[in-house]
A = this chain, B = another copy of it.
Amino acid sequence: MAFELFGREGFDATTVDEIARGAGIGRRTFFRYFDSKNDVVWGSFGEQLERMREQFRRCPPDQPLMDAVRTVVVEFNRVDPAEVPWHRRRMELILRVPALQAHSTLRYADWRAVVAGFAAERLGSSPDALVPQALAYSTLGVALAAYEHWLSRPGAELCDVLDAALAELANGFTTT
């Protein structure tokens, strides 16, 4: 897998030629499977998002908006304990390698669209109105902060950190 190379040489130092050779395919073929080298670390994110949309659909209609968002985001990011070390390495790349950090912004847009869509529905407004967009943007932000926090403390439980951070958001960061 290409991740061995990234782990060994670092993401930037690993060339597409190496990845392709490692996978036993031609360089040109690589670019038919992946739009860019960056996309290697983002598997089939689109399908994952469909899962999140589904989770939003399952939310009880009377559940307060931010409670629903919190639950879904936390559940969406729950991973099989066996996969945690793997997930950690992947997220380390995404959140710490500048090239990926930058590129990932483009992927986050779809994630935000799902959240904004749900919020808009609940608020009876358009998905691109100010409030749903601001809500989606800030939820994403909080999730990223939680991820970074999780990455830098080996012991932490991702879902707990996410839940705590989203609770703060729902409180408007009040210093009660």
Contacts and interface: CB of A to CB of B under 8 A. Distances in A.
Interface of A: 64-66, 98, 101-106, 119, 122-123, 128, 130-131, 133-142, 144-146, 148-149, 152, 161, 164-165, 168-175
A175 B130 contact: no
17 contacts: A66-B172, A130-B146, A130-B168, A133-B148, A134-B141, A134-B142, A134-B145, A134-B165, A136-B141, A136-B145, A137-B144, A137-B145, A138-B169, A138-B173, A169-B173, A170-B172, A172-B174
Nearest to A165: B134
A136 B141 CA distance: 8
User: Secondary structure at chain A's binding surface: helix, strand, loop or mixed?
Assistant: helix
A64 B130 CA distance: 24
A174 B66 contact: yes
Given A105-B105, A138-B141, A140-B141, 11 more contacts: A66-B173, A102-B103, A123-B175, A128-B152, A130-B146, A130-B149, A130-B164, A134-B141, A170-B173, A172-B172, A172-B174
Contact of A138 (B101, B138, B149, B174): B138
A103 B101 CA distance: 9
Nearest to A123: B175
A137 B128 CA distance: 20
Nearest to A150: B130
A101 B169 CA distance: 25
A3 B134 CA distance: 29
Contacts of A131: 165, 168, 173
A134 B172 contact: no
